[in-house]
A and B are shown apart, each in its own frame.
Chain A
Amino acid sequence: MMGNSTDLFLDRTKSILNFFAMWRSFEKPIPLKVYMAFIMTTQYLFLIFEIIYIVNVWGDMAEVSEASILLFTQASVCYKITSFISKTNNFVILLGLIESEIFSAQTELHEKILILKARKIKRLCMFFLVNAVTTCSLWAVIPLLDISSKMLPFKIWMPASTGESPHYELGYLYQMITIYISAFLFIGVDSVPLSMIMFGCAQLEIIMDKIGKVKSRPLDQQPMQRQAVLNSNYELLVECVRRYQSVVRFIELTEKTYHANIFFQLSGSVLIICNIGFRIAIVDSNSLQFYSMLTYLVTMLSQLFQYCWCGHELTIRGEELRETLYQSPWHEQDIRFRKVLIITMERMKRPIIFKAGHYIPLSRPTFVAILRCSYSYFAVLNRVRNE
């Protein structure tokens, strides 16, 4: 028997966020809240140190680009965790909705649909996690290859000079721990809206399966049986309409809660990808630096693609549902069935589009557009550097 849907979709997320005391943080006791505040401070401090360093070296393009590889990512992480914690109320409501009666799995096939979708999104997040951890590890390894030069992994402003140990070891540890925490928080907070969108997709597929159960009525049936079949089909259609309305409300609430997060992330992605491209063009192609930049690029691209793909899956399922409604044997049903069908199809003409910032629709063409944008900025930067 499948466990409840929240656990199915969000168990890994829950364990990551629980480790940092950010899952339903308002309900936690005081020491855990202090722990959470401490984690957030480390992230913000890193961001501030980065900004100070960039202001110091402003003007030298290569230096600025090297220092800002993590700037936008770190800013995203800080914004994400702040926004996630401040919207915990909505988050709890969404969790409650996932468990509600209207979204329950009524047959084994429904459970299988939920399990498949949960597995898909967890695999995607796992791929992203592996990439992020590889990138962080590569960054950790680079200074270790040349230990005598006492170089830190990232060029940020450090409060004390790090020429000699133990200052060097402390600075190194601080940087690496902060970056690992940042990677895990990034994935943890990101997977929440993604899992909810995939839950919406699973529910739409369940509705499609239920519509398939509308029974066909042969033309020469007895009146008593005929009425019973017509009634049961009508009830089924109304149930599907109710479920669809709940899915739409659920997705609207998810969008309201997380749209700013995703918008910030998408706009940041343009700059991040352009910057990484610039770094790859500068750095010597046989060094470990180059490979770490490559894995970083793959990480950020996969994260961007995750969002666009999940959002588009939702839109596609909505359109498929409309097709499935038409494929049901509606021409054999009575007038009330047809009238409900007409109004439902009219509503479904407007596709379910998840919009980041209530403005950028998450879809595959958006992914292509962002890549095009990044490439043109990169081309301009490259041109300026060559002159």
Chain B
Amino acid sequence: MMTKVKTQGLVTDLMPCIRLLQAAGHFLFNYHADTSGMNMLLRKIYSSAHAVLIVVHYICMGINMAQYKDEVNELTANTITVLFFAHSIIKLAFFAFNSKSFYRTLAVWNQSNSHPLFTESDARYHQISLSKMRRLLYFICGMTVFSVISWVTLTFFGESVRMIASKETNETLTEPAPRLPLKAWYPFKTMSGGGYVFAFIYQIYFLLFSMALANLLDVIFCSWLIFACEQLQHLKAIMKPLMELSAALDTYRPNTAELFRVSSTDKTEKVPDAVDMDIRGIYSTQQDFGMTLRGAGGKLQNFNAENNPNGLTAKQEMLARSAIKYWVERHKHVVRLVASIGDTYGTALLFHMLVSTITLTLLAYQATKINGINVYAFSTIGYLVYTLGQVFHFCIFGNRLIEESSSVMEAAYSCQWYDGSEEAKTFVQIVCQQCQKAMTISGAKFFNVSLDLFASVLGAVVTYFMVLIQLK
């Protein structure tokens, strides 16, 4: 019987993505309702089968690359393809070895605090984050399917040949190759017939599942970042009502209207002549000296109750203090979540950037050989756009996290902190201290994930391309 699995926190929000990851063959065995031995074994067999099929095909592509390593053009093209699919293998292995860390990050938000005053705002931002995560998932799934379809369509255009350089005449000859999306070595003949159909279907499966493996893991990472950003938005939104609450905790509350009324009348009486440099003429009333603000008995103070000048009961004071506690605990929780995300996914980002850098360098070289609107141009530009798109995907969300986390300070400053109690003011001060250092995700501390990273990668590709064009 399929009972609904009880989930909470991030797992509930990310359930569609988790199910897709399980379907694609990642070694994700938690979050099932039915954990009987038979079903677990079936799931493990399913994931292992996918892993074996994908790795076997990858090795076939590797063998093909080794076979044609003497031809420069073929070698470059095959290296790019092999590196392109290295992402999937690396992410598959990374998840398999690091699944505990993923489960821990997914469980970070299982117990979150709540406060009666702020539940409505919390729910609203949670809903926004949910819808953003869904939209991202649909978009990435759509792009993956579109890429597979366009790859397969492109296979049917152009000549399906290999470029071989003839040693004697030193010109490039063409050798017929099977019309398949990927160049790989198979132990059976694939030029036509049953072998061809089998290889074609195997390659479509490989394309779809390996791209899905890599992209879905990135989607989980970006969904975590979306969640963290919306939590920070929620915290920024409740800062103002929080400050107004804690302004009621004051021991002294200036009667601000009185303050402004008194000073304006006095000032008009005391405007001096331009030549009159006698300061005593300007600073004569007690109010100008600022003495009445903190002294006893000035007309600007309001003392109409013994303990609590504004008539707050002990219960209201507790409410205000608990609101500050909610805010601080929620912010600390977000900091812990971001730290956990960085620990979990940082190394995967490092590998991704390493492989992408080499791929993009080779693609810049390939791009210099484009000589018209043909299959070669489309495939090179397709590879470029896809690789840059993958890097852009996580850079933009990393950048948003940096911006959101450092803008909390502006929100803290823009509320009426000056009306608050001493306690509220030190609270604002410590929060500003913490938020001056933005929360960043780093690739094993080698680099920070932000739009700067994307800009430097893009700049490097364009530079190599320009230099290579000049050298031709």
A interface list, Cβ under 8 A from B: 219-220, 312, 316, 319, 322-323, 326-327, 330-332, 335, 338-339, 341-342, 345-346, 349, 363-365, 368
User: How distant is the Cα of A323 from the Cα of B342 in the complex, in angstroms?
Assistant: 14
User: How distant is the Cα of A338 from the Cα of B426 in the complex, in angstroms?
Assistant: 7
- Near A by CB (< 8 A), chain B positions 413-472 give 422-423, 426-427, 429-430, 433-434, 436-437, 444-447
Which B-chain residue is minimally distant from A363 (CB atoms)? B445
B445 touches A342 (CB 8 A): no
Partner of B321, one of A219, A335, A363: A219
User: How distant is the Cα of A327 from the Cα of B330 in the complex, in angstroms?
Assistant: 11
What residues on B are CB-neighbors of A326 within 8 Å? 332, 335, 430, 433-434
What residues on A are CB-neighbors of B335 within 8 Å? 323, 326-327
Which A-chain residue is minimally distant from B437 (CB atoms)? A349
Asked if B322 CB lies within 8 Å of chain A CBs, one says yes
CB distance from B293 to the nearest CB of A (A): 20
B interface list, Cβ under 8 A from A: 318, 321-322, 324-325, 328, 332, 335-336, 339, 422-423, 426-427, 429-430, 433-434, 436-437, 444-447
16 A-B pairs with CB atoms under 8 Å apart are: A219-B318, A312-B445, A323-B335, A326-B430, A326-B434, A327-B332, A331-B427, A335-B426, A339-B426, A341-B430, A342-B426, A345-B430, A349-B433, A364-B444, A364-B446, A368-B446
Partner of A322, one of B321, B322, B324, B437: B437
User: How distant is the Cα of A312 from the Cα of B446 in the complex, in angstroms?
Assistant: 10
* A345-B433 CB under 8 A given contacts A219-B318, A331-B328: yes
What residues on A are CB-neighbors of B422 within 8 Å? 335
B332 touches A342 (CB 8 A): no
Which B-chain residue is minimally distant from A327 (CB atoms)? B332
CB distance from A342 to the nearest CB of B (A): 5
User: How distant is the Cα of A330 from the Cα of B336 in the complex, in angstroms?
Assistant: 16
What residues on A are CB-neighbors of B427 within 8 Å? 331, 338
A342 touches B318 (CB 8 A): no
Q: Which 3 A-B pairs have the closest CB atoms?
A: A338-B426, A345-B433, A331-B328
CB distance from A320 to the nearest CB of B (A): 9
- Which label, helix, strand, loop or mixed, suits the secondary structure of the B interface? helix
CB distance from A222 to the nearest CB of B (A): 15
A342 touches B429 (CB 8 A): yes
What residues on A are CB-neighbors of B324 within 8 Å? 331
User: How distant is the Cα of A335 from the Cα of B445 in the complex, in angstroms?
Assistant: 36
What residues on B are CB-neighbors of A335 within 8 Å? 422-423, 426
What residues on A are CB-neighbors of B423 within 8 Å? 335
Which B-chain residue is minimally distant from A331 (CB atoms)? B328
What residues on B are CB-neighbors of A365 within 8 Å? 446-447
B322 touches A330 (CB 8 A): no
Which of A326, A335, A365 has the most CB atoms of chain B within a 10 A radius of its CB? A326
Which of B321, B332, B336, B422 has the most CB atoms of chain A within a 10 A radius of its CB? B332
Which A-chain residue is minimally distant from B429 (CB atoms)? A342
What residues on A are CB-neighbors of B434 within 8 Å? 326, 345
Which of B322, B328, B429, B430 has the most CB atoms of chain A within a 10 A radius of its CB? B430
User: How distant is the Cα of A78 from the Cα of B444 in the complex, in angstroms?
Assistant: 35
CB distance from B417 to the nearest CB of A (A): 14
User: How distant is the Cα of A322 from the Cα of B437 in the complex, in angstroms?
Assistant: 10
CB distance from B117 to the nearest CB of A (A): 16
Partner of A331, one of B325, B336, B433: B325
Q: Besides the contacts A326-B434, A363-B445, A364-B446, what 8 more A-B pairs have beta carbons closer than 8 Å?
A: A220-B318, A322-B437, A326-B433, A331-B324, A331-B325, A338-B426, A338-B430, A339-B426
Which B-chain residue is minimally distant from A351 (CB atoms)? B437
What residues on B are CB-neighbors of A316 within 8 Å? 445
What residues on A are CB-neighbors of B444 within 8 Å? 364
Which B-chain residue is minimally distant from A342 (CB atoms)? B429
What residues on A are CB-neighbors of B447 within 8 Å? 365
What residues on B are CB-neighbors of A341 within 8 Å? 430
What residues on B are CB-neighbors of A323 within 8 Å? 335, 339
Which A-chain residue is minimally distant from B436 (CB atoms)? A349
User: How distant is the Cα of A220 from the Cα of B321 in the complex, in angstroms?
Assistant: 11
What residues on A are CB-neighbors of B445 within 8 Å? 312, 316, 363-364
